[in-house]
């Protein structure tokens, strides 16, 4: 069980889905959390449910200038910033030939450039705190080629690479940077996914994952238990990226 006592975290895209599960778990484990998102009602409700340990800030990760204001809320309210979870993202699934350059640019702007802005914005506060942990939420689509994921996959491959470069550059300031690669997780991003045993028969554990299961990994990487881990890419995917799994009905 990862202990986050005394940590201050900023989690983007945390009004719902995995980001919200991370905010809940972080508070449960002793952290203070700044929850950011473009979804105001959901974000406010989540922060309210977490009490004094959480604040909501309406923040679009593509807006470079407002990043400083979001970081300032963490420092002014909770005294410092130790953890950034770059979780906000958008998703499309369509063939390459039907994907427009505008769609590719939009998805890169949110999923990759948003995280880039975030890492730059938190560096001074993290360095002042003596170091920190940045967790970039990539995807299985950032580890393998997935059909019909040219735009989303490019953004997630980019974020995986950016995480490694940042790990090299920020290590001397004691800022760790790792990427997390979820498989199919039941959230509003992919509303057609179901949960429970047998819900995803084409991967080794034969089910979709839950936001809370990703949150456990993110909490670990954010904690001091992961003090020697940086530049790593960690899957939480029921074994999907391990190799070519043959489903029961095809053996």
Ligand X SMILES: NC(=O)c1ccc[n+]([C@@H]2O[C@H](COP(=O)([O-])OP(=O)(O)OC[C@H]3O[C@@H](n4cnc5c(N)ncnc54)[C@H](O)[C@@H]3O)[C@@H](O)[C@H]2O)c1
Give the DSSP H/E element, type plus range, for residue 83: strand 83-86
Quote the least distance from Cβ 130 to ligand X, whole Å.
28
Give the max Cα distance, the chain: 58
Interaction residues for ligand X, span 22-51 (CB under 6 A): 37-39
Are the CB atoms for 36 and 56 separated by under 8 Å? yes
Please state, in angstroms and rounded to a whole number, the distance separating the CA atoms of residues 146 and 202: 14
Catalytic residue list contains 152 = yes
Report 188-217 residues binding ligand X (CB under 6 A).
Answer: 188-190
Q: Dihedrals φ, ψ of 81, to 5°?
A: -140, 125
Interface segment toward ligand X; rule CB under 6 A; list 59-67, 71-79, 164-172, 195-203: 59-67
Q: Which is nearer to ligand X, 89 or 123 (CB)?
A: 89
CB-closest chain residue to ligand X? 17
Is position 137 an interface residue for ligand X (rule: CB under 6 A)?
Answer: yes
21: left (phi over 0), alpha (psi -120 to 50) or beta: alpha
- 162, 112 Cβ separation under 8 angstroms: yes
Angle at 137 between CA 219 and CA 127, to 5 degrees: 65
Please select the residue that binds ligand X; options are 84, 185, 217, 218, rule is CB under 6 A: 185
Q: The sheet that has 233-236: what strands, in order across it?
A: 54-58, 32-37, 8-11, 83-86, 132-137, 175-182, 233-236
Answer yes or no whether residue 61 interacts with ligand X by CB under 6 A. Answer: yes
Work out the end-to-end distance of the chain between its first and last CA atoms, rounded to an integer number of angstroms. Answer: 38
Q: Which stretch binds ligand X (CB under 6 A): 56-64, 121-129, 166-174, 221-229?
A: 56-64
When asked if residue 60 is in the footprint of ligand X (CB under 6 A), the reply is yes
DSSP state of 202: T
Min separation Cβ 228 and ligand X, Å:
25
Choice from 64, 73, 75, 90 touching ligand X (CB under 6 A): 90
Please select the residue that binds ligand X; options are 7, 11, 12, 82, rule is CB under 6 A: 12
- Only one of the segments 71-79, 94-102, 179-187, 225-233 lies at the binding site for ligand X (rule: CB under 6 A); that segment is 179-187
CB-nearer residue toward ligand X: 192 or 228: 192
DSSP class of residue 173?
A: G
Summarize as ranges the residues that interact with ligand X (CB under 6 A): 12-13, 15-19, 37-39, 60-62, 87-90, 110, 114, 137, 139, 182, 184-185, 187-190
Catalytic center residues = 152
């Amino acid at each position: 069980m990862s202990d986050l006592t005394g940590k201050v975290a900023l989690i983007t895209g945390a009004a719902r889905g995995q980001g919200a599960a991370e905010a809940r778990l972080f508070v449960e484990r002793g952290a203070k959390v700044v929850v950011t998102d473009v979804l105001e009602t959901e974000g406010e409700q989540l922060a309210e449910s977490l009490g004094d340990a959480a604040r909501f800030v309406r923040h679009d990760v593509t807006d470079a200038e407002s990043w400083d204001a979001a970081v300032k809320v963490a420092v002014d309210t909770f005294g410092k910033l130790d953890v950034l979870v770059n979780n906000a993202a958008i998703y499309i699934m369509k063939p390459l030939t039907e994907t427009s350059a505008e769609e590719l640019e939009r998805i890169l702007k949110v999923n990759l450039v948003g995280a880039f802005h975030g890492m730059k914005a938190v560096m001074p506060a993290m360095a002042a705190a003596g170091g920190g942990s940045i967790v970039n939420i990539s995807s299985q689509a950032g580890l393998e080629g997935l059909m019909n994921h040219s735009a989303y996959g490019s953004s997630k491959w980019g974020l995986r690479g950016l995480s490694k470069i940042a790990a090299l550059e920020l290590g001397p300031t004691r800022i760790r940077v790792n990427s997390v690669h979820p498989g199919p997780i039941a959230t509003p991003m992919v509303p057609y996914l179901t949960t429970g045993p047998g819900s995803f028969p084409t991967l080794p554990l034969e089910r979709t994952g839950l936001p809370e299961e990703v949150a456990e990994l993110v909490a670990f990487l954010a904690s001091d238990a992961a003090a020697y881990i940086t530049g790593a890419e960690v899957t939480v995917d029921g074994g999907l990226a391990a190799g070519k799994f043959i489903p029961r009905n095809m053996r």
